[in-house]
């Protein structure tokens, strides 16, 4: 009888297809650089099997690049007239040129608001150029933030929770930080920043510095990986990205002051939920320029 053997083949083929489908959604190809110095990168490529954490459902995909082709200036809380998902917040102004140069003055933020809470595992890329040096406020730097609902802090200050990557203007350090609470400018709650020296003498002046922030929940579903890369080629041929700093939030990274009980999370809470906001930020600048801004879920 050949029917059983044919049936066995069909079942086996179905199992192989199901396994391949599962691997397609549970395997992430990760490229990372390790180095002894910033000038000697070694590329490693690996496939890491990841189970979807029970703490957060996998969000929809999101991919964005800065909209060019028109000049506009926005300030305060205002939508970008050329981009339905982008808006300005904070103080100061944001001017976007036709060729995609974003000029920030003061302390503005350029927000992206996803249609849903899409920002879980995220890659943010940008290039920044500081036009002049001065003594900046300690927190000032080239900053990218994700896995946040910061746009809702006016109604619920606890929604500001999210992860920061930053290159400090004064010290030239690459840093990560976690925000817990933002009620107003005088009452914000953060962790201490985790830092790695990057540039001697502070942030370079009149040089394009490429910055990439990769944020992912680890396969254990309980901890978060934060990686920061830099590129000093100005983006030539896609850039020469080198790992500058990395850390893991697996608990113990505590707020520097008491988190209000109404927020319902611990002082060292790991941010495992997705957010609907990612944003680019500077503080206390006369002129800071950005280009090649992009954000995508990974």
Which of 85-99, 184-198, 217-231, 251-265 bottoms out in mean pLDDT, i.e. has the lowest? 184-198
Same domain as 271, residue 227:
yes
Helix ranges, the chain (H):
3-26
Q: 203 pLDDT exceeds 50? A: yes
Burial category of 165 from C-beta neighbours within 10 Å (exposed 0-12, middle 13-18, buried 19 and up): buried
Categorize the per-residue pLDDT at 117 as very low, low, confident or very high, splitting at 50, 70 and 90. confident
- Let me know: does 225 contact 21? Beta carbons within 8 Å: no
Q: What is the mean pLDDT of the chain?
A: 84
Contacts 24+ apart (CB under 8 A), 92-96: 92/285, 95/71, 96/66, 96/67, 96/68, 96/70, 96/71, 96/72
285 located within any domain: yes
The angle formed by the CA atoms of residues 56, 251 and 263, to the nearest 5 degrees, is 65
Q: Are residues 148 and 293 in the same domain?
A: yes
Confidence of residue 116 (pLDDT cuts 50, 70, 90): confident
- Residue 62 has a CB neighbour count (10 Å cut-off) of 20
Q: What is the CATH number of the domain that holds 263?
A: 2.60.120.560
On whether residue 151 sits in a domain, the answer given is yes
Give ∠ CA 126-131-137 in degrees, rounded to 5: 85
Percent of the chain with pLDDT over 70: 79
How far apart, in Å, are the Cα atoms of 208 and each of 52, 77, 191? 37, 28, 29
Task: Give per-residue pLDDT as tens, 37-93.
Answer: 343 333 222 333 333 334 455 566 899 999 999 999 999 999 999 999 999 999 999
Structural domain of residue 6, as residue ranges? 1-49
**Number of domains composing the chain:** 2
**2 plus 127 within the same structural domain:** no
Question: Quick check: is 279 in a domain?
Answer: yes
- 174 and 38 in a common domain: no
- Tell me if 257 is assigned to some domain: yes
């Amino acid at each position: 009888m050949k029917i059983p053997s044919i049936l066995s083949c069909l079942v086996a083929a179905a199992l192989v297809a199901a396994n391949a489908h599962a691997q397609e959604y549970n395997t992430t190809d990760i490229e990372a650089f390790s180095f002894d110095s910033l000038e000697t990168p070694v590329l490693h490529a690996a496939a890491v099997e990841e189970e979807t954490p029970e703490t957060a459902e996998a969000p929809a995909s999101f991919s964005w690049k800065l909209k060019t082709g028109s000049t506009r200036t926005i300030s305060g809380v205002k939508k970008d007239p050329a981009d339905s998902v982008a808006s300005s917040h904070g103080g100061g102004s944001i001017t976007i040129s036709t060729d995609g140069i974003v000029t920030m003055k003061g302390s503005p933020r350029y927000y992206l608001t996803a249609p849903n809470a899409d920002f879980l595992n995220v890659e943010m890329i940008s290039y920044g150029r500081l036009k002049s040096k001065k003594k900046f406020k300690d927190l000032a730097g080239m900053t990218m933030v994700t896995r946040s609902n910061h746009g809702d802090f006016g109604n619920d200050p606890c929604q500001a929770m999210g992860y920061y990557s930053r290159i400090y203007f004064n010290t030239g350090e690459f840093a990560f930080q976690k925000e817990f609470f933002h009620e107003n400018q005088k009452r914000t709650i953060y962790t201490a920043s985790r830092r790695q020296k990057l540039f001697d003498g502070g942030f370079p002046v009149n040089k394009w510095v490429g910055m990439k922030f990769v944020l992912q929940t680890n396969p254990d579903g309980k901890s978060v990986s934060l990686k920061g890369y830099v590129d000093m080629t100005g983006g030539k041929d896609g850039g020469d990205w080198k790992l500058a700093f990395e850390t893991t939030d697996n608990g113990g990274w505590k707020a520097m002051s008491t988190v209000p009980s109404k927020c319902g999370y611990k002082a060292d809470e790991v941010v495992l939920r997705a957010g609907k906001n990612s944003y680019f930020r500077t503080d206390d600048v006369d002129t800071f320029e950005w280009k090649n801004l992009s954000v995508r879920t990974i």
